[in-house]
Amino acid sequence: MPRIQTLDFIRGIAILGILLLNINAFGLPGAAYLNPAWQGSVTPGDAWTWALIDFFAQLKFLALFALLFGGGLQLLLSRGKRWLQARLSWLVLLGFLHCLLFWEGDILLDYGLIGLVAWRMIRDVSSTRQLFNTGVMLYIVGCGVLLVFGLLSGHQPNNSWLAGAADIQYETFWKTHGGWEAVRNRLDLLSSGLLSLAAQYGWQLAGLMLIGGALMRSGWLQGRWSLTHYRRTALILLLLAAIIEIPGIYLQWACGWAFYPSAFYLQLPRELSAPLQAIGYAALCFGFWPTLARFTLTRAISSVGRMALSNYLLQTLLCTTLFNHFGWFNRLDRPQLLVVVLLVWLVNLLFSLCWLRYFRQGPVEWCWRQLTRLSSRDVMLQK
């Protein structure tokens, strides 16, 4: 099937944007991911960087990627059951190895596991409206579970929100020394992540995939609607998302990022606004595509999107090398980490442009496709 250039660009934006979130997980202790005051205090530079990233990027690009993933499942339904199952199963295995051997912040495993459920729902729900509404319902259920977690939690912060000196020292040790100690900790974090996926995040991820499938089926994610529609949709959704999220950011700052209520209740505005903002970002790209398509940078970002999986793994390779092996872990503050983001983006862009001059697919995409083809064929031969 012919590629949709705008989707390649949006996917590239999502992959590059996800690094704005992941860079904190690469370069700082886990407690710093959502809490800029993870050491008990915060500098103005860290606070403002946190606020801007929280507003423009946190969860938004993950939501955008999940929408595109669901849209991709809709497009790939014609490949058949065995092909899709093989493709997603290989993604699960790749995610597991990525998480176990390289980095505990992997999302591939989550997308593969939820995708194995979501593609059947996308296939079996005949009504586009019903598919969209089901996705919205599942996402809201996930937000509701977050509230329940808040009700069940105590008021005292744990080390995942406010890290002690011993916790920071130990995390620095196993991340920079590697070996079995790192593998064991990644396994522990993987176990916790899978519990979170089953209890809360999986609902949201499945909901986003279904919404993406519905938007693809309706032609919205294929650019079939008018430029005026996309521009109007972007304006409405981005304004609505801002109205929902800005109070949450302000209140977290005002209470000094206290564990209660920041760790649960004040995360909810971001959770609710993220799908609106993600769809708004996509609408901006479709609405202004005739102008965007003229720029060389757009072609470079589209190349990143065509090699999304390879570039995601390349980000892990570069960042774990810098922070874990070169000893940069917990040495840079949030503004300084943004400089690293720019450098990694540059590598992503140059690598993608150079590679696609000679090949049609990224290296990992090619391997993934070949393994999927061989696995689905073997299943058919066995039957």
Residue 192 is predicted with a pLDDT of 93
pLDDT band of 225, cuts 50, 70, 90 = very high
Residue 1 is predicted with a pLDDT of 61
Residue 40 is predicted with a pLDDT of 84
Q: Which tens digit of pLDDT belongs to each residue from 270-319?
A: 999 999 999 999 999 999 999 999 999 999 999 999 999 999 999 999 99
Residue 154 is predicted with a pLDDT of 77
Angstrom distance (rounded) from CA 273 to CA 237: 9
Helix (H, G, I), strand (E, B) or coil at 361: coil
Mean per-residue pLDDT for 97-121? 96
Mean per-residue pLDDT for 340-349? 98
Instruction: Label residue 174 exposed, middle or buried (CB < 10 Å: 0-12, 13-18, 19+).
Output: middle
Mean per-residue pLDDT for 88-108? 95
Helix (H, G, I), strand (E, B) or coil at 259: helix
Q: Which tens digit of pLDDT belongs to each residue from 147-197?
A: 998 888 877 888 889 888 999 999 999 999 989 999 999 999 999 999 999
pLDDT exceeds cutoff 50 at 7: yes
Question: In sequence order, which ranges of the chain are alpha helices (DSSP H)?
Answer: 5-27, 44-56, 60-76, 81-101, 108-124, 128-152, 165-177, 179-196, 202-217, 227-254, 259-262, 268-287, 289-292, 296-306, 308-320, 334-356, 363-382
Residue 375 is predicted with a pLDDT of 87
Q: How far is CA 38 from the centre of its chain?
A: 22
- Give the CA diameter of the chain: 63
Among the ranges given (32-41, 88-97, 136-145, 340-349), the one the predictor scored with the smallest mean pLDDT: 32-41
Residue 160 is predicted with a pLDDT of 85
Residue 381 is predicted with a pLDDT of 47
Q: How far is CA 359 from the centre of its chain?
A: 26
Among the ranges given (1-10, 227-236, 249-258, 348-357), the one the predictor scored with the smallest mean pLDDT: 1-10
Residue 366 is predicted with a pLDDT of 96
pTM: 0.95
Helix (H, G, I), strand (E, B) or coil at 12: helix
Angstrom distance (rounded) from CA 229 to CA 250: 32
Mean per-residue pLDDT for 67-85? 95
Q: Check the CA dihedral 122-363-360-22 and report its sign.
A: positive
Question: CA angle, 227 as apex, 345 and 299 as ends, to 5°?
Answer: 25
End-to-end, the C-alpha distance of the chain in Å comes to 28
Closest C-alpha to 323, from 166, 165, 105, 15: 105
